[in-house]
Amino acid sequence: MLKKLSVVTLLLIVTIGCRGRSSSPVAPSSQSSAEAALAAVEVNGTIDGISSDGIIVGGRSIRVRPDTQISFGNTPLAFTDLLVGMSVRTSNRDEGGVLTASRIDVDRMPSSASSPSPSPSPAPSPSPSPSPSPSPSPSPSPSPSPSPSPSPSPSPSPSPSPSPAPSPSPSPSPSPSPSPAPSPSPVPNPVTVSGTVSGLSGACPLLTFSTSGSNVTTSPATQYSGTTCASLKQGDSVQVQGTYGAGGTVVADQVTKR
């Protein structure tokens, strides 16, 4: 009797142990964890800053790689075409704690990116008109001398023929006065300023900023060394070579990042 009770008890213990194992929860697989880590992270907003290898949107740094797809509608763009103030939608991956963009869609260009109106060309200075040369006054033609009346004689003498009137000699025409030589255009005065970029505004190729107390403007003819027009940013240490323009503004011919 005791032997049968021991066998029944052993069978109950084995049955309860098997049920406990089958009802225990299964831990998530490592594959699900990896898929969650690679899930796309969307960051939308306005570009607040641009670095050498990424952008800042809504206070979050996003790395841009060479294989990142960038477009404005149906038009593909390059990383150098991105500007501060653009409204963008980004799709990113978390790679080792760094957001890396796989796609960037530009929704709106900044208002400063519109093409500037051309500046009016200066009106040409009127050339001095030559003074009119005086016309020569006509010489008075000599009046013909009267023929002498014939003296009374038995045989009439023929009247002398009148002497031909002398032809007037042409008076020489005055030579035209020489026109004044044009005054030489002033030579632009070169200037060089160095300092830190502040107050940066505008859009490439027309930028405006201040350095060492001088206002600087760039143009399509401005050349860059150590940087580009699109990557120039606040706080960069630069040397500007150019000439003085209107109002004492320095028109940059060369911008070198130091």
pLDDT digits (tens, 9 = 90+) for 144-184: 555 555 555 555 555 555 555 656 565 656 566 666 665 55
Amino acid at 188: P
User: What is the average per-residue pLDDT within 227-242?
Assistant: 92
Distance from C-alpha of 69 to C-alpha of 166, rounded to nearest angstrom: 100
Neighbours of 91 (CB within 10 A): 16
Q: Using one digit for the tens of pLDDT, what is the confidence trace for 68-116? A: 999 999 999 999 999 999 999 999 999 988 999 999 999 998 876 554 3
Q: How are the residues of the chain apportioned to helix, strand and coil, as percentages rounded to the nearest 5? A: 15, 35, 50
**How high is the mean pLDDT of the chain?**
75
Q: How far apart are CA 254 and CA 200, in angstroms?
A: 17
Percent of the chain at pLDDT exceeding 70: 57
199 backbone φψ class: left, alpha, beta (φ>0; ψ -120 to 50): left
